[in-house]
Amino acid sequence: MQATARMASVVSSTPPARRRLIRSVRSRNRVLRVMNEQLPESAPARCNQFIARIVGIICALMFGSFTLGCLLDTKPTPLWVPIGFIVFALMGAYLFLYSGTVQTDERGVTQMSFLGTFFIGWHEIDSVSTGAGQLVFSGPSRRLALPGPDTWLGRDRAAVMTAIHHFCESKGIQPRERLAAIFAISKNTRVSGTTAPTE
């Protein structure tokens, strides 16, 4: 009874502003505790890059046919014309081959495509850049480049984007538009035959 009385006297002697602050902090902690209990620790989400594949195959076929037309044309054609068509055809073919499925989980970001499986861990990423529809995650010695969110489809699309957004917020990373992102390719992130490296 004496301890209860002492506690009541301490609470009553606390200034009203401080009591409100204490109640606010306790309420926030309760909300965070409930959210942590409701959200699973591991929530893998994936979506496909079907739009990028369609764009890639269309470009490859269209510019490939243009190149063939130039080579079969009896009229003289400047050399730079078929060379330009070949370059765009190869870019379309590459887009088709490296587009596939992107997945996020508690470990990081995984890109699965015809060219292989690529992975970068959240702890390795120190910058995120975008350019011409491409999304690039970069670390000290590793880089993962993949088609951007505009090309993603699937029911988990929002979950994948939310995971990336929350990661950037938690580390204070601001995605930036960079010209170099347009031409970036994955570096030191290929993992053959698995969706992510085993730890």
Are 65 and 147 in a shared domain? no
Residues facing 113 on adjacent strands: 100, 116
pLDDT at 180: 87
Whether 181 is covered by a domain: the verdict is yes
Look up the domain containing 165 and give its range. 104-199
3-state SS class at 56: helix
Query: Is 93 in the same domain as 112?
Result: no
User: Which SS3 state, helix, strand or coil, does residue 100 take?
Assistant: strand
Does 45 map to a domain? Answer: no
Span 128-145, average pLDDT: 93
Is the residue at 122 inside a domain?
Answer: yes
What is the average per-residue pLDDT within 146-151? Answer: 93
CATH number at residue 118: 2.30.29
Report the distance separating Cα 111 and Cα 102, nearest Å.
Answer: 5
Do 120 and 173 fall into the same domain?
Answer: yes
Are 139 and 184 in contact by the 8 Å Cβ rule? The answer is: no
Residue 139 lies in a domain: yes
Q: Which residue from 135, 140, 148 is spatially nearest to 178, judged by alpha carbons?
A: 135
Q: What is the pLDDT of residues 114-133, one digit of tens each?
A: 999 999 999 999 999 998 88
Amino acid at 172: G
For residue 14, being part of any structural domain is answered with no
The answer to the question of residue 163 being in a domain is yes
State residue 37's pLDDT score: 40
pLDDT band at 199 (very low <50, low <70, confident <90, very high): very low
Instruction: Please check whether residue 144 is in contact with residue 118, taking contact to mean a CB–CB distance below 8 angstroms.
Output: yes
User: CA torsion 96→101→104→110, rounded to 10°?
Assistant: -60
Count of structural domains, the chain = 2
Residue 11 domain-assigned? no
In the predicted structure, residue 79 carries a pLDDT above the cut 60? yes
Whole-number percent of the chain with pLDDT over 90: 64
Closest CA to 59 of 92, 32, 102, 84: 92
Do 194 and 124 fall within a single domain? yes
Rounded mean pLDDT, 41-66? 90
Joined together, the tokens standing for residue 148 give 């951007």
- For the CA atoms of 85, 96, 133, 196, what is the dihedral angle to 10 degrees? -150
**Residue 71 shares a structural domain with residue 153:** no
| CA gap 143, 176 in Å, rounded | 15
Both 155 and 111 in a single domain?
yes
pLDDT at 24: 56
Name, in order, each residue with C-beta under 8 angstroms of 36's C-beta and a sequence gap of 6 or more.
none
pLDDT tens digit sequence for 15-35: 665 556 556 545 555 534 434
Question: By CB neighbour count within 10 A (0-12 exposed, 13-18 middle, 19+ buried), where does 182 fall?
Answer: middle
Please give the distance of CA 16 from its chain centroid, rounded to a whole number.
Answer: 46
State residue 41's pLDDT score. Answer: 45
Query: Has residue 138 got a pLDDT over 50?
Result: yes
Q: Which of 69, 98, 127 is the last residue of a domain?
A: 98
pLDDT for residue 182: 87
Query: For 93-110, what is each residue's pLDDT tens digit?
Result: 999 999 999 999 999 999
Average pLDDT over residues 10-14: 49
pTM over 0.85: no
161 pLDDT more than 50: yes
Tell me, yes or no, whether 65 lies in a domain: yes
Residues 94 and 131 reside in one and the same domain? no
